[in-house]
């Protein structure tokens, strides 16, 4: 813990030593398991940020937490440091499924984590669930959605499982030990979650995210609007003035650079006008903010609307429906191609 936070402080010194008016609206500790830092480690990391930046009085301060890391002492220290939102990696409420995922926690630990956070004064809670598990995994998705709702979260994030070739799951799949979830099952589970969460008062405001009114994730929403953000730590990304940069990914390499007083940058790219336009289309379509259309585009998407994939809101923006979000990549690519020709 000390080694990591010491290196984080050095990175701040290296990259932002001259910053005098760095104002932060949202702070998000994630991209891994920051809750493993415990209460003291998270408090030190946030203190390092506060010593170099101005955190808004109403800032959203989120930490991703494994259920097994949420205890009364940690919650008290997180709360004292300014954390006001937890994103809890539940993934499932089925103990057999959690063991298959190699998760350390069981279903009871998820409930304990939520109750502990509530007692400690953190009531803005997001619960993460994974759907579309491989065929052969006996998982009751409807039960998982219901049990998540019973805990009274303010936000729910859903992620369809993808099989990557370089992972153990990818190797199991290539050997034929597991089969990928069929598209029909992926669609059915996604649409069931939409219906159940919407009926419970949640707003499906982004393809993977549901929030109660006023409880949309402000930090993630900034990404989708193209707002500038900074990134610190191994593999962290950031965006500023149309330039995206990323840090060295391996922890040891990042640590070696910061110890030597060297910016741990792994690479960067300046986004071209075409890049920016493609991102505007994709990010607009993945949220209920939608996308402003030209007359040419409006005539092109008529068939999408007729198919139930999208609709025009009161301002004339195209907003995809859940059925449209299931086709997000293809629809975004289509509109991007159209825009590239005029």
Residue 2 pLDDT greater than 80, yes or no: yes
Q: Is residue 251 part of a domain?
A: no
Give the strands of the sheet with 155-160, arranged side by side. Answer: 23-29, 54-65, 85-91, 124-131, 155-160, 209-211, 203-206
Q: Is residue 219 part of a domain?
A: yes
Structure-token pair, residue 323: 């059925």
Q: What is the arithmetic mean of pLDDT over 244-250?
A: 97
Same-domain check for residues 193 and 279: no
Q: Give the separation between CA 144 and CA 141, rounded to whole angstroms.
A: 5
Query: Running DSSP on this structure, what letter comes out for residue 15?
Result: H
Q: Give the separation between CA 228 and CA 123, rounded to whole angstroms.
A: 28
Same-domain check for residues 102 and 168: yes
Q: What is the arithmetic mean of pLDDT over 33-61?
A: 93
Domain count, the chain: 2
DSSP H or E stretch at residue 224: helix 218-225
Res. 173 pLDDT band, cuts 50 70 90: low
Residue 301 pLDDT greater than 90, yes or no: yes
Q: What is the arithmetic mean of pLDDT over 274-286?
A: 93
Same-domain check for residues 133 and 278: no
Lookup result for tokens 């071209």? 272
**Which residue among 193, 224, 255 closes a domain?**
224
Same-domain check for residues 131 and 14: yes
Q: Is residue 237 part of a domain?
A: no
Candidates 121, 126, 127, 128; CA nearest to 82 is: 121
Same-domain check for residues 28 and 107: yes
Strand, helix or coil for residue 98: helix
More confident position, 247 or 168 = 247
pLDDT for 103-125, tens place per residue?
999 999 999 999 999 999 999 99
User: Which CATH number covers residue 216?
Assistant: 3.80.30.20
Q: Give the separation between CA 64 and CA 114, rounded to whole angstroms.
A: 13
End-to-end CA distance of the chain: 53
Q: Give the separation between CA 235 and CA 245, rounded to whole angstroms.
A: 10
Least confident of 28-37, 167-176, 308-317: 167-176
Residue 163 pLDDT greater than 80, yes or no: no
Res. 48 pLDDT band, cuts 50 70 90: very high
Q: Is residue 332 part of a domain?
A: yes
Candidates 10, 7, 88, 48; CA nearest to 250 is: 7
Q: 304 phi and psi, to 5 degrees? A: -65, -45
Q: Is residue 260 part of a domain?
A: no
Would residue 241 be called left, alpha or beta, if left means φ above 0 and alpha means ψ between -120 and 50 degrees?
left
Same-domain check for residues 193 and 302: no
Candidates 123, 129, 65; CA nearest to 93 is: 129
Same-domain check for residues 83 and 194: yes
Same-domain check for residues 35 and 176: yes
More confident position, 334 or 296 = 334
User: Residues 84, 60: contact at Cβ < 8 Å?
Assistant: yes
Same-domain check for residues 134 and 214: yes
**Which residue among 196, 224, 252 closes a domain?**
224
Lookup result for tokens 């920051």? 34
Share of the chain above pLDDT 70, in %: 99
Q: Is residue 190 part of a domain?
A: yes
Share of the chain above pLDDT 90, in %: 80
Query: Residue 145: which residues within 8 A CB-CB, separation 6 or more?
Result: 129, 192, 193, 196, 197
Residue 220 pLDDT greater than 90, yes or no: yes
More confident position, 98 or 15 = 98
Strand partners, 243: 240, 270
Res. 152 pLDDT band, cuts 50 70 90: very high
pLDDT for the residue 167 = 78
Residue 181 pLDDT greater than 90, yes or no: no
Same-domain check for residues 300 and 170: no
Residue 243 pLDDT greater than 70, yes or no: yes
pLDDT for the residue 16 = 85
Range of the domain at 298: 273-339
H-helix segments, the chain: 2-16, 38-50, 72-81, 95-100, 107-119, 141-150, 168-175, 183-199, 218-225, 251-259, 273-285, 295-300, 302-306, 322-325, 328-339
Same-domain check for residues 218 and 293: no
**Which residue among 160, 191, 224 closes a domain?**
224
Q: Is residue 318 part of a domain?
A: yes
Q: 90 phi and psi, to 5 degrees? A: -70, -55
The string of DSSP letters for 269-299 reads: EEPPHHHHHHHHHHHHHTBTT-B---HHHHH
Query: Residue 164: which residues within 8 A CB-CB, separation 6 or more?
Result: 170
Res. 20 pLDDT band, cuts 50 70 90: low
Same-domain check for residues 109 and 181: yes
Q: Is residue 322 part of a domain?
A: yes
């Amino acid at each position: 813990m000390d080694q990591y936070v010491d290196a984080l402080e050095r990175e701040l010194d290296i990259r932002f030593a001259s910053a005098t008016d760095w104002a932060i609206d949202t702070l998000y500790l994630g991209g891994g398991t920051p809750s493993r830092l415990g209460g003291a480690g998270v408090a030190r990391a946030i203190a390092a940020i506060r010593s170099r930046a101005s955190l808004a009085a109403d800032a959203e301060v989120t930490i991703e937490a494994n259920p097994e890391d949420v205890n009364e002492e940690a919650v008290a220290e997180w709360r004292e440091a300014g954390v006001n939102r937890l994103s809890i990696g539940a993934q499932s409420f089925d103990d057999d499924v959690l063991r298959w995922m190699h998760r350390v926690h069981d279903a009871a630990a998820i409930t304990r984590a939520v109750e502990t956070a509530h007692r400690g004064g953190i009531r803005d809670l997001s619960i993460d669930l994974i759907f579309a598990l491989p065929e052969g995994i006996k998982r009751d998705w409807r039960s998982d959605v219901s049990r998540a709702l019973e805990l009274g979260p303010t936000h729910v994030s859903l992620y369809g499982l993808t099989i990557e070739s370089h992972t153990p799951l990818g190797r199991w799949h290539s050997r034929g030990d597991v089969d990928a979830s069929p598209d029909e099952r992926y669609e059915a589970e996604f649409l069931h979650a939409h219906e159940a969460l919407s009926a419970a008062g949640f707003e499906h405001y982004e393809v993977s995210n549901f929030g109660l009114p006023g409880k949309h994730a402000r930090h993630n929403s900034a990404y989708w609007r193209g707002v500038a953000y900074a990134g610190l730590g191994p593999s962290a990304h950031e965006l500023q003035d149309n330039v995206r940069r990323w840090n060295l990914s391996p922890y040891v390499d990042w640590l070696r650079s910061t110890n030597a007083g060297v910016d741990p940058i792994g690479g960067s790219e300046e986004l071209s006008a075409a890049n920016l336009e493609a991102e505007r289309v994709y990010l607009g379509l993945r949220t209920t903010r939608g996308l402003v259309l030209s007359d040419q585009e409006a005539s092109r998407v008529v068939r999408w609307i007729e198919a139930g994939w999208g609709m025009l809101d009161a301002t004339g923006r195209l907003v995809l429906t859940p059925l449209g979000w299931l086709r997000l990549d293809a629809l975004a690519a289509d509109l991007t191609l159209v825009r590239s020709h005029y």
